[in-house]
């Protein structure tokens, strides 16, 4: 379905429209060339319009787009985001990875949209993946409080935590190619079907064959107005991740892991807690660092 955004009526319309001529009583087919045009599958448009409706009723909405590297999942995500924001999408709504998402969330208004592109995790270690999942869990809390829309773009639906993949997201769009390696195809998995997919596919080395998707659709190579800026940001972030992998887990991730251990220790009965000296020896940091982390937690 080719769509354009009518700025006067503030809604998306099909480029080809059927209208009733009141004088003749006949239906006429007309074409409109006003506004920015995009192509989206008709069934997917219905799902996105539903998201727009529930956001107005103070709900939040999260969905996932996954697929192998360079399959076109970021293109589909940006197209969906462009539709959901009624063409008002900007680089301020897009994060390459979750590290800068917290800062962007502070500046984004309620009921707005955030797109987190986790494509760089294709090259990440298990430690980095675990840290990323923890950050996403925290981000989801803010998304809920601010009644926002969140699109998560990831290499694999199965690499995300069960809370994110099964319980928190509304649906999954899995990008794939046809037999001739042509991009622009996706499979839609509803809430119930993606739950089954997570359980069955996880046991079958990440297979998407069972259950069958709710429906399949197509999309085109749409480029948002800030596409060049987006690509440059993505490139810099990817290089940063590769560098991070060379030296191991980043200092930020180590600090987050340390604070998670301290948090769990503080929640224990006082008699069963490790002392600051014991924590210092266990985590290989100074007693002063442990004391500072404890103060921040309390």
- pLDDT at residue 15 in the model: 66
Of residues 70, 136, 129, the one with CA closest to residue 99: 136
Strands 113-117 and 94-96, sheet pairing? parallel
Residues 130 and 220 grouped into a single domain: yes
How many structural domains does the chain have?
A: 3
Of residues 180, 174, 116, 183, the one with CA closest to residue 143: 116
Residues 77 and 186 grouped into a single domain: yes
Residues 26 and 109 grouped into a single domain: no
Q: Is 219 exposed, middle or buried (0-12, 13-18, 19+ CB in 10 A)?
A: buried
Local structure of residue 24 (DSSP, 8 states): T
- pLDDT at residue 18 in the model: 43
Residues 66 and 146 grouped into a single domain: yes
Residues 265 and 222 grouped into a single domain: no
Strands 37-39 and 2-6, sheet pairing? antiparallel
Is residue 290 within 8 Å of residue 283, measured between CB atoms? Answer: yes
Q: Which residue is associated with the tokens 């991740």?
A: 241
The range of the structural domain enclosing residue 31 comes to 2-35
Residues 109 and 152 grouped into a single domain: yes
Give the span between the Cα atoms of 35 and 157, in whole angstroms: 34
The structure tokens listed for 235 are: 């490139």
Is residue 2 within 8 Å of residue 39, measured between CB atoms? Answer: yes
The structure tokens listed for 105 are: 């969330």
Residues 83 and 25 grouped into a single domain: no
Q: Which residue is associated with the tokens 């060049």?
A: 228
Residues 163 and 81 grouped into a single domain: yes
Residues 141 and 121 grouped into a single domain: yes
**pTM for this structure?**
0.73
User: Mind listing the pLDDT tens digit for each residue in 222-233?
Assistant: 999 999 998 887
Q: Is 291 helix (H, G, I), strand (E, B) or coil?
A: helix
Q: What is the CATH number of the domain that holds 116?
A: 3.40.50.300
Rg (CA), the chain: 22
Residues 194 and 272 grouped into a single domain: no
Contacts (Cβ under 8 Å, ≥6 apart) of 171: 47, 63, 64, 188, 189, 190, 191, 194
| Segments of the chain with pLDDT less than 70 | 15-36, 119-129, 237-253, 297-298
User: Mind listing the pLDDT tens digit for each residue in 72-100?
Assistant: 999 999 999 999 999 999 999 998 877 77
- pLDDT at residue 116 in the model: 92
Local structure of residue 40 (DSSP, 8 states): B
Q: How many Cβ atoms sit within 10 Å of the Cβ of residue 98? A: 22
What values do phi and psi take at 7, rounded to 5? -70, -30
The structure tokens listed for 185 are: 């195809």
Give the span between the Cα atoms of 2 and 12, in whole angstroms: 10
- pLDDT at residue 27 in the model: 42
Residues 225 and 243 grouped into a single domain: yes
- pLDDT at residue 232 in the model: 83
- pLDDT at residue 35 in the model: 46
Residues 72 and 219 grouped into a single domain: yes
């Amino acid at each position: 379905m080719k769509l354009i955004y009518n700025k006067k009526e503030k809604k998306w319309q099909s480029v080809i429209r059927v209208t009733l001529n009141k004088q003749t009583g006949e239906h006429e087919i007309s074409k409109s060339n006003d506004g920015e045009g995009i192509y989206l599958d008709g069934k997917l448009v219905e799902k996105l319009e539903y998201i727009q409706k529930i956001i107005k009723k103070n709900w939040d909405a999260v969905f996932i787009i996954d697929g192998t590297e360079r399959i076109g999942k970021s293109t589909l995500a940006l197209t969906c985001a462009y539709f959901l924001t009624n063409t008002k999408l900007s680089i301020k709504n897009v994060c390459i990875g979750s590290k800068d998402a917290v800062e962007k969330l502070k500046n984004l208004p309620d009921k707005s949209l955030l797109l987190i592109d986790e494509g760089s995790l294709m090259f990440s270690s298990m430690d980095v993946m675990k840290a990323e999942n923890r950050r996403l869990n925290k981000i989801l809390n803010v998304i809920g409080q601010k009644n926002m829309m969140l699109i998560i773009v990831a290499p694999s639906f199965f690499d995300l935590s069960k809370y994110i993949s099964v319980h928190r997201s509304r649906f999954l769009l899995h990008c794939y190619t046809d037999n001739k390696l042509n991009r622009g195809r996706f499979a839609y998995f509803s809430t119930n079907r993606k739950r089954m997919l997570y359980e069955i596919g996880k046991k079958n080395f990440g297979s998407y064959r069972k259950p069958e998707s709710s429906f399949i659709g197509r999309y085109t190579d749409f480029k948002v107005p800030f596409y060049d800026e987006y690509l440059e940001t993505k490139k810099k972030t990817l290089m940063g991740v590769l560098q991070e992998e060379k030296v191991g887990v980043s200092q930020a991730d180590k600090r987050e892991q340390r604070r998670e251990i301290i948090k769990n220790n503080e929640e224990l009965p006082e008699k069963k807690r490790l002392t600051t000296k014991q924590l210092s020896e266990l985590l290989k940091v100074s007693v002063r660092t442990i004391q500072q982390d404890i103060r921040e937690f309390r």
